[in-house]
Amino acid sequence: MLGVRHPHELLIDDVYVDLSAVLGVPVAVKCESFNFAGSVKLKAAVTMVTAAEESGLLTPDSVIIESSSGNLGVALSVVTASKGYDFVCVTDPRSSVQNRRQIEATGGRVVMVTEPDANHGYLASRLRVVRELCASNPRFVWLNQYTNANNWRAHYQSTAPAIVRRCPELDVLFVGAGTTGTLMGCAYYLRDIGHPAQVVAVDSVGSVTFGGPAESRFIPGLGTSRRPELVDESVLDGVIHVEEADAIRMCRTLARAGFLFGGSTGTVLAGATRWLDAAGGSRHNAVAISPDLGERYLDTVYDDAWVAEHYGAELLDHRAPVGPRDLAA
């Protein structure tokens, strides 16, 4: 029989999009969305579940539980459905309806947390609910993407080596910071092989990951209201903070060129464009990691009413092109 036998085995690792003509700076986007989970998070989900099985943490009657704003929840729903585990995803109102429906379609259960935490996010509230559920039932197994080293090992073993194979003369890699699993895995790999490329983290304004003040955020995927345990700034060469309005502008600019990317990708590319424009981008071989595509953001990032409500109607002018210097302003 030809092809994959299980949905979590499909991991396409070599799709790149050259956005130089659209953005005015040379940057290739590594697309991590071409799998049955639709995002980069499938790699972490597979690696964490496999490690838990091998260690004996998971048994056939285990119920996997995880806190997620969206993509990891979807990825775990694919893996657990494939392997026969029950799954509970603890999420919040910022997660997309599409993500929640996909989790439920694959047999998972969604628990919605509606009480914000002290840092204007939901992460601390979600973690409290996870702990309460684990205490109530010994069958629950929490993989804990925020502290689990297999989160970053997934990208140390696959994402980073794939980038170096494709672009051995890489000068700078731009990676969004959520749990920082993708970011840390890539940074550790480049450090350990002695590669000279810079690793630049891209975070949302309002995230506390790198010590900034907490503010309300509406685009899921990047940023945290609680510093991730995995983050290690010693292996990073820089951090860029991007306003969510700039991420919206970037997504909508790319959509007008036919590229429908997710909100996290818009954030990463807004930061990468600003960095490259300031550095004289033509001298750099640059790669940015795109976690997902835009179909899960049609009711938010690409919805005029939602954008106007959260960021103001001025973001809805589709006639004016947005270039690198507009994003940097």
Whether 80 and 90 have beta carbons less than 8 Å apart is answered as no
Walk across the sheet containing 86-91 and list its strands. Answer: 109-112, 86-91, 63-67, 140-142
CATH class name, domain 41-142: alpha beta
Q: What is the pLDDT of residue 45?
A: 98
Lowest mean pLDDT among 46-50, 113-117, 312-316, 319-323: 319-323
Looking at the predicted structure, is the pLDDT value of residue 59 above 80?
yes
Is residue 14 helix, strand or coil?
A: coil
Q: What is the pLDDT of residue 1?
A: 55
Q: Which two tokens stand for residue 288?
A: 């940015």
Looking at the predicted structure, is the pLDDT value of residue 147 above 50?
yes
* The domain made up of 7-35+149-328 is a member of CATH 3.30.70.100: no
Q: What is the pLDDT of residue 121?
A: 80
- If one counts every other C-beta atom within 10 angstroms of the C-beta of residue 61, the result is 9
Rg (CA), the chain: 19
Lowest mean pLDDT among 43-47, 57-61, 310-314: 310-314
Distance separating alpha carbons of residues 326 and 308, to the nearest angstrom: 19
Q: What is the pLDDT of residue 191?
A: 98
118 pLDDT tier (thresholds 50, 70, 90): confident
Q: What is the pLDDT of residues 75-102, one digit of tens each?
A: 999 999 999 999 999 999 988 899 999 9
**Helix residue ranges per DSSP H, the chain:** 20-23, 41-55, 71-83, 97-105, 123-136, 149-154, 160-166, 181-192, 244-256, 263-279, 304-311, 324-328
Q: What is the pLDDT of residues 171-201, one digit of tens each?
A: 999 999 999 999 999 999 999 999 999 999 9
Distance separating alpha carbons of residues 319 and 151, to the nearest angstrom: 41
214-227 burial code (b ≥16 CB/10 A, e <16): bbebbbbbbbbbbe
Q: What is the pLDDT of residues 193-239, one digit of tens each?
A: 999 999 999 999 999 999 989 998 999 888 988 899 999 999 999 99
Whether 80 and 169 have beta carbons less than 8 Å apart is answered as no
Residue scoring higher pLDDT (177 or 319): 177
Q: What is the pLDDT of residue 94?
A: 87
Burial class of residue 1, CB neighbours in 10 A (0-12, 13-18, 19+):
exposed
Q: What is the pLDDT of residues 269-293, one digit of tens each?
A: 999 999 999 998 667 899 999 999 9
Mean pLDDT of the chain: 93
Q: Give me the residue spans of the domains in the chain.
A: 7-35+149-328, 41-142
Q: What is the pTM of this model?
A: 0.93
